[in-house]
Every structure is written in structure tokens, then in C-alpha cells.
Structure 1
Amino acid sequence: MTGIRIGGRAFRPGVAPSIAAAAFFALAISLGNWQARRAEEKLELGRRLDEGAKGPALSVPSVRLDASALDRRRVSARGRFVARAALLLDNKVLHGAAGYHVLTPLKLEGGELHVLVNRGWIAAGERSRLPAVPTPETLQTIEGIAVTPSRRFIELAPEGASGPLRQNLVPEREEKRLGLGLQPFVIEQTSDAQDGLAREWERPDTGVDRHRSYALQWYSFAALAAVLYAALSFKRADSGRD
């Protein structure tokens, strides 16, 4: 059977190299596509944030909403903080310093429903001692951005419910643990407060260039694999004859 010939060489790929090359090519393309999708997802979130910031702040009602109803929109909420149910979200870095995000449920005025407010960042200090955060007891009006917590994390086992420290945030899980009805989103507070917390929120489109760079890198690996496979599969026309 006559195969592809170029000059004095014929295309004679081996079975094992063909399988390995095809598997690596498919993997590299898949990873490149995933990185490209992540870049587009972040760009879309950034556009939604910019569009939502143009209009007036929407009031968070005391009736449950879908998580997507206010996602990346400017919102305001009025109510009282439930200090006993405050949470500390671990592994949050600001300007190179380790710390926590402080989340406190706000009982919405006019009902029994609550919304978690991410009040800001506080330095970790000694890991053996959690920082004390003052919580106002008076009626509060909070303004900020409604955010649906990311589910892009891996848990080998469900977190324990003891204490305020959390590695990941899942509103419906906290609803059961705290015994409070919660909206399915979090408010990243932007309004001022005399609480010593830093409120420098990362834009959702941060890292788009990095994802694009990774995508290009994986596509380059796929192209290189294809070129090497083709080059190594062309052999002298008289080689390998029985």
C-alpha cells in the first residue's frame, strides 16, 4: 500500500506514538479551550459589573430571590447585623498580607430573611487567635455589589461547622449551620464604615490576560506535538522493509 511520500521519505507512524500523540494533542486543545472559556467568562462578568454600576442601587427585599437576579448589580440592604453568626473566610490576601474576609448576616428589615454581607478584609495576625471584629448593633443601610459565591473549589471532605472559620462559602450550607434564612448571594460592601476593615474588591475580570496566555501556551504545545509527530513519522522510504 502506497503511503504519503515526500522526497525519499515515507509517512510510517508507529501505533504507540500515534496513540500518545493523539492523546496529548486532544488534552492540550481541551486545556487551551478551557482557559479561553475562563477568559471569556471573566470578561462577561466584568461587563455585567460595569453595566450594573451605571444604574441606581437596587434594594434587597426580604423575600428570597434567585442567585442570578442581582448578580454583579449595585444593591442596598437595610437591617441589623447578627453578630453571633459572623464568619471568617480564610486565605484572603491583600497587598501580600494574609488575612480573612469578615462576613456577617444582616437581618433584612421587614422580614425574617437575612443576607450575608462581606464587610471587608482583616489581617490574620497569629493563626492561633482569630481577630475580634466590632459589629454595629444599630440599624444599618449597606451598599455594595451582589455576588454569587464561586463554586470553583475542591473539598476532600465537608468542612466542620464548629467556630466561625471557613475555607469556602456556600450560602445554602451556612443557612443550615446558622439556622438563618439567607439570600443565595453575598453583598460585597462598598459603603463606608468605621470598623477598620479594608474593602478593596477584586474585579471579576482580573486575570483575563493570564488565561489568554495559558490558552495560547496550550495551543502552542498542541501544534508542537503535531509537528514533532509528523517529523518523526517520516522515515527513509527504504527503511523498515522486511
Structure 2
Amino acid sequence: MRFKKFNPGKKITIFFIFFATTFFLLGIWQVERGHDKSKIIEEFNNNIKKNPSPLSEESSKWDRVSVKGFWKGSKQILIDNAINTGAAGYKVLTPLKINGTETFILVDRGWISQGESRNVLPNIEIQNEYAEVNGILEDPELGFVLSENLVTSNWPKVSQTKNLEVLNKEFEEQMAPYILVADPTLKSSLAYMKIVPTNMTAEKHFGYAIQWFTMFIAICLMYLWIGFKKNEE
């Protein structure tokens, strides 16, 4: 019985090794990212069902907490490019001075429409009164921004990012390391936007993994076909 000799050539082999390895590793990476996102979403879903606990040094991202204090309406920040049900607007962040401390925490009171013109900011006035706020702690990443000037100079300020590393620099006061996304039951809350704990679902990552593994299989089959075909010629 005569077997076909496999001889794809050196250049084809180098090409194959590079791309096959790349496709396979990208597939593995997407699977790992998918599992990570699954854990984050599971933790988030479990936390939002809990009763709020008092904010403490042990509190962490996605914890459901309760904070008491006084609003500081003179230093509010509007997060630009917030889309709610197809309408453009802003997320409104208001500092709350935590009772018994000198620390402020930024409270996400919700969404407000942009209005007819970007040149005129919406009315976000709030009284400097006592409030008890329940909600979820978040620590947003910087994300993709289109401008180098992330925050405007005058209060209320408009920011292109919700990242605390950027926002807390705008305050002279001591600021907490989290944003508190207030429950929609808050007296001073605006339109509520559902919290999205990840920028991409686990299912999307697994879908991308399938695509990379499919490309890996395809290039393996192509390599075999070229190797045997070239030998026949």
C-alpha cells in the first residue's frame, strides 16, 4: 500500500505554526475571559438581592450598601454621552458627605435628558439636605474616550468618563474610592438606568472563542491539504 508523502515546505510550515498558535491561544483567552465574566455577573446578581449593609472599609465593588449623609449640590458632575432608551443625556453624580466623617462619596442619582441644546446644561439642582442612600458600589474603568480634555472647568462639570481616578481629582475634599449607584427609590433620584456589570457578556466571549477555534481548525485542514497536494505535483 502506497502512502502519500506529506511535504508542505518550510515557508508554509512557518506560516502555519504562527497562525495556528495565534488562533488557538486567542480561543483559549476568550474562553478564560468568558469564565471571568460569568463569575462577575454571578457575584453581581447575588449582591443586588441582598439587604444593604452600612458602608465600611471592607466594602468592595458590587456590594449593596447604605450611606447616610448630606448632599453637596454645588459640586455635581454630569457624565456625557449617556444613552437611555435611544435618547441622549447625562448621568448625574452628586457628592454626599458621609455622616461622622470628612469623606464624600459620589452618588449616581440617575439619568437626565440632554435637552434641546448641548450648550445649555439641564437643571440638576438639589438641596444640601440629609439623605439615606441605598445602592450598589461601582468602580468604572476609564474606557474609550474621544477627547483629551476629559472634564470641563466650571461647576457643574461635564465629564467624558465615569472613572474615579479622573473624577476625584476635581475635588479638594477627601473622596471615597467608589461610586454609589442609588436605588430608583431614592427621593432625589432621576431616571434609573440598569447597571451593566460588564462591557461584554460571557456568551459573546464564548462566541468569539468558537470563531477562533474554527479558524484554527480551518488552517490545520488547509495545511494538511497543501502538504499532500504539493507533494502530488
Q: Please tell me whether residue 22 in structure 1 is matched to residue 17 in structure 2.
A: yes
1:151 to partner: Cα distance: 4.5
What is residue 3 of structure 1 aligned with on the other side? none
2:60 pairs with one of 70, 77, 85: 70
Indicate which of 165, 170, 174 corresponds to 2:158: 165
Structure 1 position 215 matched with structure 2 position 194: no
**Where do 5+ consecutive residues of structure 1 fail to align?**
1-5
- In 2, the alpha carbon distance for the partners of 1:236 and 1:32 equals 29
- Cα displacement (A) at 1:76: 0.8
Decide whether the 8 Å contact of 1:53 with 1:74 is kept in 2: yes
Structure 1-normalised TM-score? Answer: 0.81
- 1:58-91 deviations in Å (ceiling 9; x for gaps): 1124xxx36xx32211111111222222111222
CA offset digits 1:89-139 (Å, max 9, x no partner): 222222222222111111111111011111111222333333221323210
What secondary structure does 1:122 align onto?
strand
CA contact (8 A) 1:116 1:187 kept: yes
Q: Partner amino acid for 2:26?
A: L
Choose from 183, 193, 210 the match for 1:190. Answer: 183
Quote the RMSD (CA, aligned, Å).
Answer: 2.7
Q: Kindly tell me: are residues 16 and 170 of structure 1, through their superposed partners in 2, closer, same or farther at Cα, counting changes over 3 Å?
A: same
- Give the conservation status (yes or no) of the 8 Å contact 2:136–2:181: yes
The 10-residue stretch of structure 1 (36-45 or 214-223) with the greater mean CA deviation from structure 2: 36-45
Query: Would the alpha carbon gap of residues 27 and 139 (structure 1) be closer, same or farther in structure 2, given more than 3 Å must change?
Result: same
Please state if 1:233 is matched with 2:227.
yes
| SS of match in other structure, 2:220 | helix
How far apart are residue 145 of structure 1 and its match?
Answer: 0.6
Percent of matched pairs sharing the same residue: 27
Equivalences, count: 229
